[in-house]
Amino acid sequence: MGGANNRELEQIEIIDILDEDIILKSWDEFIHSHHYTIFNDFYNSFVGEHPRRSCEAYWNQNMECMFIEPFPMPHGVSFNELYDWVQPRINAEKNR
């Protein structure tokens, strides 16, 4: 909450095709210092490589210094196929 200076522990991931300077200017009040990454392709982003576990994966990699393997979403599939792919993960979360 608050301005960028109150967000020193926050990291933001932005997925956009605009030039980095334009993106940073529009997000200036929100981003603290260098705590951002910009991707122009969803599938290359942390969210795309670690769906439903992006925050956990980011923490493990950057705070716990653990090597983690991406578990990317399938490309070019129908919504039904995507649903079938993600459903076991949702079930596992419910059973935790």
Q: Which two tokens stand for residue 43?
A: 């599938």
Q: What is the pLDDT, as a whole number, of residue 21?
A: 95
pTM of the model: 0.70
Distance CA 58, CA 68 (A): 9
Q: What is the pLDDT, as a whole number, of residue 57?
A: 87
State the residue range of the domain holding 11: 4-94
Question: Mind listing the pLDDT tens digit for each residue in 16-40?
Answer: 999 999 999 999 888 888 889 999 9
Distance CA 37, CA 58 (A): 12
Chain centre to alpha carbon of residue 10: 12
User: How many domains, the chain?
Assistant: 1
Q: What is the pLDDT, as a whole number, of residue 25?
A: 94
Q: What is the pLDDT, as a whole number, of residue 61?
A: 86
Q: What is the largest CA-CA distance in the chain?
A: 44
Q: What is the pLDDT, as a whole number, of residue 43?
A: 93
Q: What is the pLDDT, as a whole number, of residue 24?
A: 94
Residues of the chain below pLDDT 50: none
Distance CA 12, CA 29 (A): 12
